[in-house]
Copies of this chain bind each other. A is one copy, B any other.
Amino acid sequence: MRDRVTLQDVADQARTSKTTAHYVLTGQDQKLRIAEETRRRVLRAATELRYRPNLMAKGLRTQVTRSIAFISDTVATEAYAGNLVYGAIAAAAEHGYLLFVCETGGDPELEASLIGDLASRHVDAYVYASLFTREVQIPAELHFERTVLLNCLAADNSSPAVIPDERQAGRDAACALLDRGHRRAIWLVGEPGEQVLAGAQRTEGIRQALSDAGTELAGTVDCKWWPEPAYEQFGAFLDDGGDPSAVICLNDRVALGVYQALKARGRSIPTDVSVVSFDDSDLAAWLQPPLSSIALPHRQMAAEAIRLLMTDGALAEHPVHVAMPVRLRESIGPPRS
């Protein structure tokens, strides 16, 4: 707040005009061949006075604010999606942009008023992000703005979008087991339909890869994507005589439940049962044995979204699919017999 130094002050101190000072300070001095001597005086004055251009004034003139709105339903609340935000912040920072990070909690009215506020502030662009990979209906106002969807798709595919390559991830999960020799008694745990895109596409990829290898899923244990239901349902499955050689869990939380159910029954991982999963949350590396998981590349996705915004993404084929890295750990071994 003791930062009241204006361009005029710098010009005065350098005994020149606002215009000249401006040209020097914005690096337009080359083509305008400003005297080296003048240039120096301006630069010295700016440094001495600790001049900081007022970005509001600049924005008012130029209509650019070097700020981006990051709007999410509830990205943040779920801890593991935090990297969508931080990846975006970091990528934007590299271009000199700052992010207004906002959460709507999924409330359309709040969303509308938020976008109104952001428009009032003349943010340069919008990242519209979702916690779960899914199809969204973006607010009409955003159609008129530079917008990119992160971890979600517009129903009409009208805006550039960045999503993880879930289908390939499904294939990779299956291949991780196939590579170790698994062919039979491969079970899927989790509701394939729950998270519209992730569930359906992971499952699809899994089926494709298995089919390519001349085999198929032995079956599915249906349950919500949480440890408790996975523990219950998968435990019941085992108690009913279920004897899987390998298990593909639709996410790490499900895998935790599966681990617990297996251990409670004295079955060893990976000696008796191999386990592979999706998301690669912190949990995966902490489990015993460490869990093999196909990672959600949230940071890369966010970086890609910012890149699209910066390069006027129109050029790219969209949606952009970001590869999900395979993190192989000790939860996968050769089949028992």
Q: A52-B116, A65-B56, A122-B54 are in contact. Are A79 and B82 (CB under 8 A)?
A: yes
Q: A35 vs B307: C-alpha distance in the bound complex, in angstroms?
A: 52
Q: Which residue of B lies closest to A59 (CB)?
A: B56
B93 touches A86 (CB 8 A): no
B80 touches A76 (CB 8 A): no
A8-16, A99-107, A168-176, A241-249: which lies at the interface = A99-107
A98 touches B76 (CB 8 A): no
Residues of A33-58 contacting chain B, CB below 8 A: 52-57
Residues of B close to A144: CB separation below 8 A: 1-2
Contact with B along A98-138 (1 / 0, CB 8 A): 11111100000000001011111110000000000000000
> Which range contains the number of A residues in contact with the other chain?
35 or more
B89 touches A82 (CB 8 A): no
Contact with B along A137-179 (1 / 0, CB 8 A): 0000000110000000000000000000000000000000000
Residues of B close to A99: CB separation below 8 A: 100-101
Interface of A is mostly: helix
A103 touches B89 (CB 8 A): yes
A19-27, A199-207, A281-289: which lies at the interface = A281-289
Contact with B along A54-86 (1 / 0, CB 8 A): 111101100001010000000011011011011
Q: A217 vs B145: C-alpha distance in the bound complex, in angstroms?
A: 61
Q: A156 vs B101: C-alpha distance in the bound complex, in angstroms?
A: 31
B77 touches A86 (CB 8 A): yes
B60 touches A119 (CB 8 A): no
Q: A82 vs B67: C-alpha distance in the bound complex, in angstroms?
A: 22
Asked if A90 is an interface residue, CB under 8 A from chain B, the answer is yes
Residues of A235-269 contacting chain B, CB below 8 A: 253, 256, 260, 263
